[in-house]
Chains A and B, each alone.
Chain A
Amino acid sequence: MKEMVYSRSWAAIPLATICLVVLFFGCSKAELKQALDEAKAKTQTLTETTIQTIEEKLPERGHLTLDSTASIDEIGLVNLELISIGDGRPNVVQIATYNMGRPGQDFPAILFHGTAKAGTAGSLVGETIQCDVYLQARPDTPIAMTGPSSSLSITFDSLGEDGTTLHATLGKADLLTSEDQTITIRGGQMIAVIKEASP
């Protein structure tokens, strides 16, 4: 989500300073007008630069649209990590719609967990992985999970423009809730933000 920041008071300060300077040194009307025009132009440039900088600093949070029988349509938080244990085990991919350092705070909470051949998140493009899915729509609803013989496929289609996100397509899977109800995922689209696994 982009945020527009326009600060009138911030741009107004240099104008006042210029006016003070002008008053002090006694500019002509034409000279004043030119100074004002120049000041306005500068202010505009500065403000545009500010907007751009703020846009760059705001992190991409990821996005998930889900086609499922759970009443979950869109989630605006998706993190992905690829973890290499380094002793010959397959690499683990974890994709979460919540902050893994602070579980229980963000809902709907979904974890996709699988293994991949790729050694880095960036090189996942083109790979399809099979995932266990863990899902809890709200804090008071039962947890659902893929059973021992079922898994969801996730195909990584492309890397985002700046290399910090992965675009992926979800396959189909049935999940079973802890109260034996079935939740079907028919598909979905994902933009996952790549997180570096902290040492």
Chain B
Amino acid sequence: MIPEYRSISNSVVRIAGTLACTILCLPLGANPSGKDPSRPLAAHGTIEGAEELVTQLYGVFDEESKFVDETYARKDKPTGFSDRKIATSAGRLWKARRDAERLQIMGEPAGYDLLSKLQPLMSQVNQFAQAYRGTPEGNQLAQRIMAKLHREKPQMQRFLEQAEAALQQGKLEIFEREMEKRGQELNEQLVFFNSSESKPISEAFNAMLSRGDSELATKRKRDYAQQAAVAIDQQRSAFGRFVEQAKRVPREIAEEATAQLGEGTHGGPVEAFLYIGAQWGATSTALLRANAIQWAFPLAKPSTSGDLSALEQLALRSLASVIEAASRSTAPSDVAGVYGGMLEAISVLERRNGIMSTDVNRACAAAMATLAAKDPALPQRVAAYERATSEVLRWRQSYAFEQATHLGRNSPRGSAVLMVNCDPQFSVRPPYASRPARDRVAASSVFTEPAQWMVQASAACLVGKPVIVDRVVRLSPSSRVAVIPYRESYYANLPVPLPSDAEVADLRAALVVDEDHAPLTLAAADAVSSAMMQDYESVMGRIETVFLESIVTRMIVLPDGAYPLVNLGNSVAINETTPAVLQTCWRLELQPLWARNRYFIVRLTSEVK
């Protein structure tokens, strides 16, 4: 009787398909890249209204930026300026700056980026106004405005008294709305005056606004912290749901040799093992999302703690239980097939657990021995299989390693490439924007200036360069995307599958594996599963596109299916001394030139030598 074995890549498709996301589930049009540097930094939207505000403000920036560029081009002829447009711009920018600061309280990294973009615009608009003021028409306009403002002083007085009343009554939103409306008008008028001229008019208004802002900020920080805490707890509730699955699935396998694995899907022991693995991944990302929300809202006090290593311990115990359960409910004639399938499944998870990880194998070793013992012929088969394949694996591994060393001899590794100094002249800045004095590293770990400028300079410096990166993990067996997991401020992705059919068939033949015969050692299982899944030890690729993201947003919106981005059981390390909202996350899109499976090299172009 042919032992039951289906290559895991067939079985996993059914389960992981429900969790996988094609392109890391980022919203369309989010995050600036070298190809499209003016795109907004994505919003995570933890606080309601944040996403819309981010979109709106980047729109305001685009419009006002266009106005400033046009006016700057004519700055030698201030008589030709439009005073109305200058005034409107001043008012809008004043309001936009306040909104950006509000976004910062909402924990949105875009709030900081927007402020850094808006400030140079405001500075220019002020200069346009001063230049216009120096013209005869401008002078007359200024006199008219000042006269009007003096006439309206009593009205202003009454307005401020009403504002005071609103403050006293705690009607903070109404206060803000009315003050901002009036404030925008005031700024349209006062842009043509210097600070000592404006002071008599604006002093009382600004003082009142300041008080209200202060109360509002306090209230909002408290409210948002509470909302964030709720969001954190909600993410961490995934842990409890995992506990349920971790118990239920092995129990069903023990009783019936099949278990329910998601909506209307059932599977045998190997599929159940992979299902628990995928649930571990999904729960892991939920905990990572929760941690990232805490980064954005340091004042939030959630009532749960999400411990990634506690999750790992639970997951490993559950995985071992699935195998123990299988050993109880699997017929001896089916044991070899299940055993081989489990080896492949263990190897898949192991590669997602970290570099050279052995945690999964060690956790499952005793259970695997119990399973194997149910088929008295199996130990001898395993020993014969090992003898027939271990030399082959040894040769192929050495050969692939030598090839990779030879092919990669002139190319730098990823982290080295990102530390290279880039000439900031590459960034396309407006003529009025100051240039940094010296080179910056290609991929700074913090936002030091507008993301648009940073990504332009880095892309100009990096795009087209070949780079070697270690560890490539496919998002799912059917995904067209494989990721290089996050490390040192960056991650990367490349399109899969690579054209490795000939190499994979050759490897499977050498390891005496086919549709009906599974690999019987962990090393052979790892070889076969990594070849068929298209996970690689390293890849050399040309950098095609550079994206700049915020690490906070990247982790808050990380979808369940993208769990391979972070090693299972690990949290994401960020710099403790810099606010998290100011820390970057670079993404490199690579066009692969060659890739190294542990046991073979696949080349994508004959140019590769």
Contact = CB atoms under 8 A, between A and B. Distances in A.
Interface of A: 81, 83-90, 92, 94, 96, 100, 103, 111, 113, 115, 132, 134, 142-143, 145, 147-149, 178-180, 197-199
B506 A148 contact: yes
B414 interface: no
B395 A145 contact: yes
Interface string B327-352: 00000000010000000000000000
Nearest to B506: A148
Among A85, A111, A113, A179: residue with most chain B CB under 10 A: A85
B510 A85 contact: no
A83 B403 contact: no
A168 B307 CA distance: 63
Given A142-B402, A143-B398, A143-B399, A94 B380 contact: no
Given A88-B2, A178-B399, 11 more contacts: A83-B387, A85-B384, A85-B388, A87-B377, A87-B517, A92-B388, A94-B391, A113-B392, A115-B512, A132-B510, A134-B395
B381 A85 contact: yes
Nearest to A144: B399
Contacts, number: 79
B503 interface: yes
Contacts of B520: 85
A149 B502 contact: yes
Interface of B: 2-3, 336, 377, 380-381, 383-385, 387-389, 391-392, 394-396, 398-399, 402-403, 405-406, 502-503, 505-506, 510, 512, 516-517, 520, 609
Contacts of A111: 391-392, 395
9 closest cross-chain pairs (CB), A and B = A178-B402, A148-B506, A92-B388, A134-B395, A148-B502, A83-B388, A178-B403, A85-B384, A143-B399
Given A85-B512, A87-B336, A178-B402, A143 B381 contact: no
A120 B569 CA distance: 49
A86 B512 contact: no
Contacts of A198: 387
B395 A143 contact: yes
27 contacts: A83-B384, A83-B387, A85-B381, A85-B384, A85-B388, A85-B512, A86-B380, A88-B516, A96-B391, A111-B391, A111-B392, A113-B510, A115-B512, A132-B506, A132-B510, A134-B396, A134-B399, A143-B399, A145-B396, A147-B506, A148-B502, A148-B506, A178-B399, A180-B609, A198-B387, A199-B380, A199-B383
Nearest to A90: B512
Contacts of B395: 111, 134, 143, 145
A90 B402 CA distance: 30
A197 B377 CA distance: 17
Nearest to B517: A89
Contacts of A199: 380, 383
